[in-house]
Structure 1
Amino acid sequence: MLTTTVLAAALTDAPMQALAAGPLPALGPDFLDAEKLINSFGTAALIGIVAVVFIETGLLFPFLPGDSLLFTAGALVAQDSLQLNIWVLCLLLFLAAFTGDQVAYVIGRKLGPKVFNRPDSRFFKQKYIDQTYAYFDKYGGRTIIVARFVPFVRTYAPVAAGVGKMHYRHFVSYNVIGALLWGVGVTLLGYWLGNFSFIKNNIEALLILIVGVSVLPVVFELWKARRKEKAGETVEGRDTDYDEPVERAAVEREVFGHAATPPVDGQAGTEVVDDGAAERTER
C-alpha cells in the first residue's frame, strides 16, 4: 500500500497541482484525517498517537486511521513538525500495537464466541467477522501478521485467535513480528521518506494522498462484497462461506487444531474444547 503511495507521488504531478489549487480538503471525518488528528493532540501528541494505535488494535474499534497515522507520524517527525524522538516513538508504537493485540486475544479467549455473536451495531458488523475468518482460512496463523495491514481485519483477527484458542506462544510470536513490521516499519518508512526534498516540500498533498490510498483496501473489499452479493455469495454484505458458527468452527479446526465455536441448534460439526484440551491439541 505504501509502495503504491510513493510510486504515485513520484510518477505524477498530482501533488503539485493540488498545492497550486489552494487548500486541500480533508477526506472523511476529522478523526480519519491523520494529520488533523495528530494536531488535535497538541503537546500530548505522543500519548494520543500511541493511544489510537492501542484502541484500534485492542478495544474493537476499527474506525481509526491506522496505516496513515503511523506513516504521517513518522513523516511529521522527519519534518520537525512533531518534536519527538523517532526511536522513542517507534518503541512506544511497537508496545501499543503488541499490547493491543494481547488485550484483544484475552477478550476473545475469556468472552469466547459471545464477542462474535453480537448483533450488528454502529461500530460492530458481523461482515467484518466473516472477513476475518476468510483471512484465517487463506493465511492460517500468519493472518495475525498479514492482518496488521488490512483495515477492520487487524482489529478482529486477534479476537478470533482468542476465540479459537490459538496456542498462546504461537500467537505471541506472530504478534511480535506483526507489531514490528506494522507499528515500527510503517512509521520508519514515513520518517525516511520524509527526508526526501520532494516529500518535504509537498507534505500536505502527500498526506492527502496517503489517506486516500489507505482507504483503498476498504473500497476494494466493498467492491468485492458487492460482486459477491450479486452472485448470491453474500447476504446483506456477509460472506456466506463464513457467516455460520459451523463454518467458523471448520476454520478454527483447520487453523488452530480444534473448534471453540459453540454448537447451534440444527448444526453439527462444532465442539467446545476446554483450555487444557486446547493445549494438548496444540502440542
Structure 2
Amino acid sequence: MTLAQLAHPAASQVHLAVNLLDAQSLLAAFGTVGIAVVLFAETGLLIGFFLPGDSLLFTAGLLCAGSAGRPGHLSLPWVLLAAATGALAGAQTGYLVGRKAGPAFLARTKSSKLRDGADRAAAILNRYGHAKAIVLARFLPIVRTVLNPLAGVLAVPARTFALWQALGGLLWTVGLVLAGYALGASVPNVDRYLLPIIAVIVIISLVPIGLEVVRSRRARGAGDHA
C-alpha cells in the first residue's frame, strides 16, 4: 500500500475492512485521531495489548515527511500531540484502574500473553525500581500494557508513576515519530519500502521481550541447579 492509498483508500475502488493489527490500515481509516485512540487503548486497557503501537508511531512519522500537499501527508505537530495525549492518558488510566480494582484486576484474565506480560512487568519493577521500569516498559510490547495497572495494584506512589510515565511516554512517542519522519524525509519514495520497514520495526520491538524471556529461563535454570 502506498502513501496515496493511505490517504485516499477509496481511490483503489476496493473496500477494505479495518485491520486492527495493521498500522497502515488504522491510519488509513482513522488518521491522526486514530493514533490517540489506539495508544490510549494499548497503554490503558488490557484489551489493547495486541495493538501495533510501535509500528503505528513510526508509520505516522513517515507520513509526516514531504510536502503538505503530498497524498498521505500528516501534520507532524498534530501527530506528536495525538500520540503523546493517547499514551499519557492511557497509562494514567491503566494505573488508576489497577489501583481501584486491586490484585483481582489481572487475576481474571484468561490470556496467557497478558499473564506472561504481567510476570515480566513485575520482574522489571523488582529489578530496575519504579522510575527506570516505568520508562523502559514503554518500549516493550504487552509489558507497556500491563505494567500500568500493575503499578496501581502494587501501590506505586501516584506522583512517582505520573512523573516517570510522562517522561517514558514522551520519549517513546516523540522518539518513534521523529525517527519515522527523519527516514521519510531522507529517503526518496520511501512508501515503496513501507511494508519491509514496518516488519523491521515489529521485529526490533520484539527483541527486548525475547531477551527478557531468555534471561528469565536462565535464572530459573540456575535456581533449579542451586
Give yes or no for TM over 0.5: yes
Q: Which amino acid counterpart does residue 71 of structure 1 have in structure 2?
A: F
Question: What's the C-alpha RMSD, in Å, of the aligned pairs?
Answer: 2.7
Q: Which residue number corresponds to residue 56 of structure 2? A: 69
Give TM-score scaled by structure 1 length: 0.63
Does the 8 A contact of 1:34 with 1:211 survive in 2? no
Pick from 164, 173, 191 the counterpart of residue 174 of structure 1. 164
Q: Which residue among 51, 74, 97 is the counterpart of 2:37?
A: 51
Cα deviation code 1:120-154 (max 9, x no counterpart): 237x6322211111000111112111100011111
Q: 1:140 to 1:199 in 2, by over 3 A?
A: farther
Alpha-carbon distance, 1:103 to partner:
0.4
Supply the distance in 1 between the matched residues of 2:183 and 2:142 (Cα, whole angstroms).
26
> 2:35 touches 2:82 (CA, 8 Å); kept in 1?
no
Q: For 1:192-249, what per-residue CA distance to the aligned partner results, in whole angstroms no more than 9, with x for missing partners?
A: 2211126737532323322333333344455556x45983869xxxxxxxxxxxxxxx
Rounded Cα–Cα distance in structure 2 between residues aligned with 1:67 and 1:153: 13
Normalized per residue, which structure has more helix?
2
Please say if residues 193 and 199 of structure 1, whose CA atoms lie closer than 8 Å, have aligned partners that are also in contact. Answer: no
Classify the secondary structure of the residue corresponding to 1:136. helix
1:45-98 CA-to-partner distances (Å, cap 9, x unmatched) read 112222111100001121111111111110122154533210111012111110
Q: 2 CA distance for matches of 1:138 and 1:97?
A: 24
**CA offset at residue 114 of structure 1?**
0.8
Partner of 1:156: 146
1:147–1:157: 8 Å Cα contact kept in structure 2?
yes
2:93 aligned with 1:103, yes or no? Answer: yes
Alignment match of 2:121 (pick from 121, 127, 132): 132
Cα offset, 1:37, TM superposition: 3.1
Structure 1 residue 214 corresponds to structure 2 residue 205: yes
Relative contact order (alpha carbons < 8 A, sep ≥ 6): 1 or 2 greater?
A: 2
Structure 1 letter corresponding to 2:62:
A
Specify the code of the residue in structure 2 equivalent to 1:136: L
Amino acid in the other structure paired with 1:55: A
Equivalent residue of 2:100, what SS? helix
CA contact (8 A) 1:151 1:217 kept: no
Change (3 A) 1:48 1:120: same
Counterpart amino acid of 2:122?
Y
Identify the match of residue 175 of structure 2 among 163, 172, 185.
185
Instruction: Flag structure 1 segments of 5+ consecutive residues without an equivalent.
Output: 1-29, 235-283
Q: TM-score, normalised by structure 2?
A: 0.78
Unmatched segments (≥5 aa) in structure 2:
1-18
Rate the CA distance shift 1:199–1:168 in 2: closer, same or farther, 3 A: farther
- When Rg is computed on C-alpha atoms for both structures, the one with the higher figure is 1
Counting matched residue pairs gives: 201
SS of 2:159's partner is: helix
Question: 1:199, 1:167 → 2: CA distance?
Answer: 48
Give matches, 1:109-124, under 5 Å: 109-121=99-111
